[in-house]
Chains A and B, each alone.
Chain A
């Protein structure tokens, strides 16, 4: 949970192991959705509540793998995350809280630099944006 004062929430979920859908148990499905979607929402909600209480804006950046080429559990989580990002970006816009997502298979410098940009005031007009880095579908 989010404690103390912070201006930026970066939430990273590393690309998981891909498992064929017919081998996926409900328990495994739940674990993936919990990490890829539920926990992200709860953390972002707590973060936003803290920012509102402080009367200050902030930035949320979700980082994870894109829905393509993943297992069905992660694909569902990533697809939901994309639309959650767009929704929260607008819902919290007037709290000065921006919400963006970066979808990537890599962990290179471009990913880091892009996240730093999105966290900064330079991205003050960027919210609800989904950007891919190092994807194979360019």
Chain B
């Protein structure tokens, strides 16, 4: 059903008007994993709007290059690299390369992730390993590589992790990602505490649904339109507002913010009561954005 006309929908300013000055990250370099597309690209663009140089990392160099071109259009220096964040040698090599080209990295966005709807009993070992290790090992390896370098230089910095609202609720039909994203959020708090003495802040955004060209949901017939009325906010998220909040946690404006997992989901995860629609077990879902038959 469409959102009734008399409902008031809060909407963000357009992409061209970021919430911070164009030089808030001047002289700094951010590394964004999975930064070539989707939410990672939104993060990268948001950092670029604040004047950061951007190292874009992707499994596929081609996608990283495509994203890099869009980021460079904002007038910042960009470098694209391929990297499998599950492999420590590749992560270290990517940091070496990025720092050689752009200079010291002081900001990190852990976004790399994989996700697709599947029944728990149908998750193969390979699929489980891919989804959990990209998020958990990837975040661990990139964050520790980042922190070791900053600590050695005596330099502070900031990390932001792309988490998900379903870390608090579970996500039936998505067990691998539910587990992975929750581990990542817990890690956020632990790393924040350990690295606070070094001036390294670590936060995460528990994101709701921000449709983009590479997201699994919303590609069905009817697109994302059917989702709008399911969400208390009356709409799915605009991807640039996710990028902005991510980047903003890394600005000096929020210098006292660390160890936080900030919910940005339009109330989606909080919408629970006996007024919900009938429950349909994942294996019986045919239609809808998270159905798969």
A residues within 8 Å of B by Cβ? 55-57, 86-87, 89-90, 93-98, 106, 108-111, 113-114, 117, 120-135, 137-138
Contact = CB atoms under 8 A, between A and B. Distances in A.
B232 to A, nearest CB: 3
B260 A125 contact: no
Interface stretch (B37-45, B77-85, B147-155, B240-248): B240-248
Contacts of B253: 109-110, 113
A74 to B, nearest CB: 21
A121 B8 contact: no
A138 B192 contact: yes
A82 B41 CA distance: 33
Contacts of A123: 245
A124 B260 contact: no
Interface class of chain A by DSSP: mixed
B262 A131 contact: yes
Contacts of A97: 8
A46 B277 CA distance: 31
B262 A127 contact: no
A132 B11 CA distance: 24
Contact of A128 (B7, B11, B19, B263): B263
Given A86-B270, A109-B255, A132 B13 contact: no
B237 interface: yes
Contacts of A122: 12-13, 19, 241, 244-245
Interface in B245-282: 245, 248, 253-260, 262-267, 270-271
B101 interface: no
B205 to A, nearest CB: 10
A90 B232 contact: yes
